[in-house]
Structure 1
Amino acid sequence: MSLHDKYLPAYDFHEVHETTINASSEIIYPIIRNQDFSGSWIIRTLFFLRGLPAKGVTIKVLGDQKFNLLEELQYKEILIGLIGQFWKPTGELQSFEPHEFQSFHGPYAKATWNFALVKEGERNRLITETRIACNDEAIKKSFSRYWFFIRPFSGLIRKEMLRAIKVKAEQQAKLLCA
């Protein structure tokens, strides 16, 4: 069971991407937590266009931008939550504590985004899933229009993150075997 199922079991939109990494979860997991994704010009550009910090893009920095760490299962999964009106230019991101996420209501959408590791022999499958739940039909309609345009770019960011984690983890695994 994914942490998504605990925090956002019902959702209106979602997207999943994955990659297989030739490294252990002990190598991969700290990279997920600490990787600076601003090394990718794609991520830097897309974050800049959305008004997010384009330098030093880590899970911690995202947390400072109201992407809250909801829960973590060490070496298995990290779940981030976000509440806002994403379809508006400012995003109207809301401050909240992790325990408030499930019961948070109002004219907003809630999103969860994870990185989950699934062991497959000597390798690991790294999956990232994004789920979005809208609090009512009007919000769902607004978000739907936004998602139509943003989804390809959201997917591109996730794929770039997976690629960066894979490259770094496999480099580290190779060094340990040498």
Structure 2
Amino acid sequence: MPTYDVTISEHIIVQSDPATTFAAARELDLLTVHSPLLDTAMWLRGLPARLSRKGVPAPAPRIVIGPDMGLPGWTFLGEQRDREVAFAAVGKFWQPTIEWRDIAAADFPGFREPGWGKIAANFSILPYGAKATLLSYECRTVTTDPASRRRFLRYWWLIRPFVGHIMRATLRQIEANARARRE
């Protein structure tokens, strides 16, 4: 996504080779990413749905970034083996209960229907010295009209620190998984 309203990125040095780190990123089960703050934030994020008549759907047994992600609104954009994996979503994430829009990966770049936000994210892997890897997680968000942009930027001001925390927790989990693959 070359044009965006906001971007955030986090990085970590993984003491593992790029192929092992990529495999750990590619096979990450997002449901294994935890921290006290993340777990609390996710519980709070689900509170409006729990209080409404809609309720919270049962969680998937695993959520792995790939062609069959199993997350509403999220789509797998593709990968460059041992280098990058990219995924995206369309939604109204600034609302108390997120409204997701399922969209095919091929339609994601050109999607411009007013009232929505688009997220493009990736894990990228670069060699770092002889035996380590620079693992990066970048997230870019763009909205499809000025009113959505205003709503999203107010929401972003509040949640940006939590997004950074979630990204760092995700990178730490990938690092732990790469370390476990090595042992």
Which bin holds the TM-score, normalised by the shorter protein?
0.7 to 0.9
How far apart, in 2, do the equivalents of 1:95 and 1:56 lie?
A: 19
In 1, are the aligned partners of 2:60 and 2:70 still within 8 Å (CA)?
A: no
SS state of the match for residue 127, structure 2?
strand
> Are 2:55 and 1:49 equivalent residues in the alignment?
no
Match of 1:4 in 2: none
- Which structure features the higher share of helix residues? 1
CA 1:138–1:150: 2 relative to 1, 3 Å: same
Match of 2:82 in 1: 75
How far apart, in 2, do the equivalents of 1:159 and 1:84 lie?
A: 23
Match of 2:65 in 1: 59
Q: Percent identity, aligned pairs only?
A: 28
Match of 1:104 in 2: 111
- AA aligned opposite 2:69: G
SS state of the match for residue 10, structure 2?
strand
SS state of the match for residue 64, structure 1?
coil
Q: Which runs of 5+ in 1 are unaligned?
A: 1-7
- AA aligned opposite 2:83: K
> Are 2:145 and 1:140 equivalent residues in the alignment?
no
How far apart, in 2, do the equivalents of 1:58 and 1:48 lie?
A: 20
What is the CA-CA distance between 1:61 and the residue it aligns to? 10
Match of 1:29 in 2: 22
1:62-89 deviation line (CA, Å, top 9, x unaligned)? 9211211111111111111111111112
What is the CA-CA distance between 1:54 and the residue it aligns to? 8.2
CA 1:61–1:161: 2 relative to 1, 3 Å: farther
146, 161, 164: which one pairs with 1:152? 161
How far apart, in 2, do the equivalents of 1:73 and 1:49 lie?
A: 35
Q: How does the TM-score come out when normalised to structure 1?
A: 0.84
- AA aligned opposite 2:28: Q
How far apart, in 1, do the equivalents of 2:45 and 2:120 lie?
A: 18
124, 129, 132: which one pairs with 1:116? 124
CA 1:108–1:80: 2 relative to 1, 3 Å: same
Q: How does the TM-score come out when normalised to structure 2?
A: 0.82
- AA aligned opposite 2:122: N
How far apart, in 2, do the equivalents of 1:54 and 1:61 lie?
A: 15
What is the CA-CA distance between 1:60 and the residue it aligns to? 5.0
What is the CA-CA distance between 1:55 and the residue it aligns to? 6.3
